[in-house]
Each structure stands twice: as C-alpha cells, then as structure tokens.
Amino acid sequence: MARTPRPEFRPDPSLSHESMTELQREIAASAAFTDQFGFEPADIAIDDAFDLTTGLPEATPESDGSNPDAPVVVGIDQAFLTGETKNEAGDDGAGDDGAGDDGAGDDGTTDHDRAVSAAVAIRDGAVIEYAHAVTPLSIPYVPGLLAFREGAPMLDALDALSVEPDLLVCDGSGRIHFREAGIATHIGVIRDLPSLGVAKRLLCGEPVESVDERPADWQTPIRADNRVETAEPGTVIGHAYQSRQYPNSRRVNPLYVSPGHRVSAETTVDLVAATCAGYKLPEPTRLADAHADRVKRRLPGED
DNA sequence: GCGACAG
DNA sequence: ATCTTGTCGC
C-alpha cells in the first residue's frame, strides 16, 4: 500500500516559524494515531517501582531471570546546562562552530546551553541499557516548537542505544499539540517507532471533566479545542490520567498522555498505566530523568 | 488587540 | 527546564 514519505527533520536555527509549523503539519500527516505494534500493555507491565534512593539500578544486558523476549520500552528525558556564557577564556574546545552571532539579544538570554539527553531501555521490569548524549542547543524554547530544540538531542541519545526499542516513552506531548505534532510525534515518526508522550502540564485541548481532586487510575479524555488547528474541535487527542494519589489527600495533578506515533489515544493510557508503579511518573520516565541528572552531575563543571 | 502556551 | 533548605501537612 502507498506510504507517505517520511518528512525530514531539520532543526536548523535559521528555519522560519512558518517552515517549522509547516514541517509539523507534515509530521502529523505521517503519524498514525492507531495501534500498530505487536504486543499488549501487559507485556510491558512494571509491577515494582525501582528504588532510586541508593542510586540507579545496574543495567543487566544479559537478562538474568527476566524474559529476553519481552518488548523493550525506552524512556527518554533531558536535563540542561544553562547560563553557559561564551566569555570564559579557555573554554573547552568542544565549542560549536557558531554560524555568526548567537541569537542573544535584548533580553539577555543566550542559546549557549547544552542538553543532556538520556535514554533508558527496560525489558520485563529490568534495566538492560543506559545511553546518553550531550548536545549544544541552538534554538530557544517556544511553546509548540519544543521538538526543534530538544528533538535532535533526543535522537542522539537514541542513536547511542544498542538495543532496538519497541516503544518510546517521551517527556512532553504527542498528539496534544497545536498541530498534533508534539515532540513524541516527531521522534516516533522520524524513527517510525511506536511512541507516546507524557506531560505534566496541558499544552492545549480541554479535559471532558474537571481534573481536580481525582483518585488514582482516574482518567478523562482531552478534546481538541479551537487552539488545535489540525483537528475538528471535540476530537479526542489524548487523556488526563491520574497515575497516583496520596491516600488521604487529593492534591496531585494528573499526567497528560497522548499518542506519539502508531498508538491510539485509548491505548496510550493503558501503556502508561502499565509502566506506572506507584509514582506519579511512569518508571521509564523516572529512570530517564534520574539518568539525565546523573550524567549532568558527572559533567565537568559541577562537583 | 487579548489570550495562552509541553520542556 | 533551572535556581534551592527546610518545612507544613497528612
């Protein structure tokens, strides 16, 4: 059957705003918001939360006891090194070959930051591999255009991974996006891998029910509103999912989960729920977050 | 012109 | 995202 050619991903700082939004429309058009993967949510279930109080669990590539045929879930997250000014004499030679000036400007902020991208591969409840990449950032954060700032760094971390992922769990939105092309969608489409996004805050769209004071495991659909340019208002683009709640309180906010690529909105909730083990964030994201922080701490500069 | 906005 | 110790509440 005919197949839409995969859009190329060029996070070039010189790209115009229009070019970026146009590329996102192509990404969204190439994305599949239907289930296209060969396993069940139960196959990636993580029953026991990893204990991160004594450091991260050791990676065990040679499955000791765990099922080597279980799907590989890869969590991806980032940490940042900001405020890196360019006036430091004797800067480490790893500087970027700057094309002219930095887009610094009037507000004093520069783009001389670096991203630490971390990817953690989990199979049958065990970590089988850690990978990371440190990438200079050249594009500022703009709501809706996050993929152009963090996409390449995330792909770098994925490239550093030796195992083949069966599912990517990204930090941020997927289909819950102005053009249905959040960073989870970008990454999924570019690698043509099943992917989903887990965000702590809602970018756009409207919950069917109020998300306040909800018990654990509660969920409600997120419908496209007038801010979602590519979908008919009312279209379900993701869900609010209350992954955890304290026994006698109701202050924890829900997660906002949405399809990235090759996963439906409904199944996205099931997949996230399967990888949650008592904490607000799903285990793949918790571990990727911790790994990114660990790499960042070990980097020259802060000891 | 006003509002609104992942990491 | 990041800057950051202790601390109020269950």
What does the pLDDT read at residue A93? 32
Task: For chain A, state the CA radius of gyration.
Answer: 19
CA A100 to chain centre: 31
The whole-angstrom separation of Cα A123 and Cα A100 is 45
In the chain, the amino acid numbered A90 is G
Q: Which two tokens stand for residue A52?
A: 């991160």
Q: Which two tokens stand for residue A30?
A: 């190439």
Q: Which CATH class is domain A34-83+110-298?
A: alpha beta
What does the pLDDT read at residue A62? 85
Q: Which one, of A162, A96, A91, lies nearest residue A129 by Cα? A: A162
Contacts (Cβ under 8 Å, ≥6 apart) of A235: A223, A224, A228
Helix (H, G, I), strand (E, B) or coil at A133: strand
- The domain spans of chain A are 34-83+110-298
Q: Is A35 annotated as a binding residue?
A: no
pLDDT-above-70 percentage for chain A: 87
The reply to whether the CB atom of residue A80 sits less than 7 A from any atom in nucleic acid chain C is: yes
- Cβ–Cβ under 8 Å, residues A258 and A169: no
Q: Within chain A, how many helices (H) and strands (E) appear?
A: 5, 9
Find the Å distance, CA of residue A255 to C1' of nucleotide B6. 11
Closest nucleotide to A141: CA versus each C1': B7
In the chain, the amino acid numbered A110 is T
The reply to whether the CB atom of residue A250 sits less than 7 A from any atom in nucleic acid chain C is: no
Residues of chain A below pLDDT 70: 1-3, 84-112, 246-250, 301-303
The whole-angstrom separation of Cα A208 and Cα A224 is 10
Closest nucleotide to A80: CA versus each C1': C1
Q: Is the torsion defined by CA of A49, A52, A54, A58 positive or negative?
A: positive
